[in-house]
Amino acid sequence: MLATISHNGNSYSIDFSKPLDISISLRGDNKNPMAWYLKHPEIDPVVDGGFIGKVSKGSSVNFNNIWFNPHAHATHTECVGHITSELNTIQQHLKTFFFKASLISIEPQKIDEDLVFTKEQISKKLQGIESEALVLRTIPNYIGKISKNYSHTNWPYIEEDAMILIREAGIKHFLIDQPSVDKEKDEGKLLAHKAFWDYPKNTRFDATITELIYVPNKIEDGEYFLNLQPASFENDAAPCKPVLYKIQ
């Protein structure tokens, strides 16, 4: 379905029949991505006396309990409540869900034992971009990301100055295919998170970070529209299904 939409005073043509899903589905086994030293999610039928919530076991319905952590197991969107002592939830602060987005791909730079997205790399990619959302695909990109155990892997992270540049470019919504924008073991500094939200100086409550996405190689770098729809959780983060739409 081709539609013309008006956004920030400009008109764009979008084909809503061709969504580009960049989320990772949650599974109840060890093929699910994992991070932060947790085991895999669990999806199991409710058992209550003689009742088993599974049609193949004789129930009239499938009726599962699901155990998971949004930060460790799923594509998730988080707000500044992730790092504040007071309660701030994604449900409170994200009020609109459709944004012009730019997709960029970068191979992080090796610095000592780390892989880092640097200010210089980000600066080059931001030239000419006028978007509210930025989607970063890590190169090399491979299908194994959707089932990787990231714990103790020292994944690539965003340099603090690079994230300041992203914030100053007017990016309100940042998406990445890593478990965190920060270094896995950073002694709790969370420099990239704090830089993006400008916390605590001038906190951007309406800005979000989405982690653990997966952008297939067939999706080319360029401009898109992003539908960002976290589940309705009163939590700092919630599972999310970000979807891109190519601008015609």
Complete DSSP assignment for 216-238: -TTSPSEEEEEE--B---SSSEE
Cα–Cα distance, 157 to 121 (Å, whole number): 13
What are the tokens at 81?
């409540």
Render pLDDT for 52-91 as a digit per residue (tens, 0 to 9).
999 999 999 999 999 999 999 999 999 999 999 999 999 9
Encoded amino acid at 105, one letter: S
pLDDT recorded at residue 7: 83
Note whether 134 and 175 are within 8 A (CB): yes
State the pLDDT at residue 3: 83
* In contact, 119 and 3? CB cutoff 8 Å: no
Locus of tokens 């965190």: 180
At residue 96, what is the residue type? T
- At 178, the pLDDT band (50, 70, 90 cuts) reads very high
8 pLDDT band, cuts 50/70/90, is: confident
Predicted local confidence at residue 2, as pLDDT: 83
Looking at residues 11-35, what average pLDDT do you find?
Answer: 96
128's CB contacts (< 8 A; 6+ apart) are: none
Is the pLDDT assigned to residue 159 strictly greater than 90? yes
| Stretch 168-182: mean pLDDT | 98
pLDDT band at 174 (very low <50, low <70, confident <90, very high): very high
**What is the per-residue pLDDT across 85-122, written as a single tens digit (0 to 9) for each?**
999 999 999 999 999 999 999 999 999 999 999 999 99
Quick one: pLDDT band at residue 182, thresholds 50, 70, 90? very high
Whether 194 has a pLDDT exceeding 90, the answer reads yes
The CATH fold of domain 2-24+71-246: Glucose Oxidase; domain 1 (3.50.30)
| Residue 144: per-residue pLDDT | 97
**For all residues of the chain together, what is the average pLDDT?**
97
Angle between helices 119-126 and 160-168 (to 10 degrees): 20
Find the mean pLDDT for residues 142-163. Answer: 98
Q: What is the DSSP string of 90-106?
A: HHHH----EEEEEEEEE
Spatial CB neighbours of 163, under 8 Å, sequence gap ≥ 6: 181, 191, 192, 195, 196
Confidence class of residue 227 from pLDDT cuts 50, 70 and 90? very high
24 pLDDT more than 90: yes
Percent of the chain residues past pLDDT 70, beyond the cut? 100
pLDDT of residue 5: 82
Element (H, E) at 167: helix 160-168
Strand 98-106 to strand 133-138: parallel, antiparallel, or no bridges (unpaired)?
Answer: parallel
Q: Is the peptide bond before 70 cis (omega within 30 degrees of 0)?
A: no
The C-alpha atoms of residue 195 and residue 189 are separated, in whole angstroms, by 11
Domain ranges of the chain: 2-24+71-246
Is 165 within 8 Å of 123 (Cβ atoms)? yes
pLDDT at 52 (0 to 100): 98
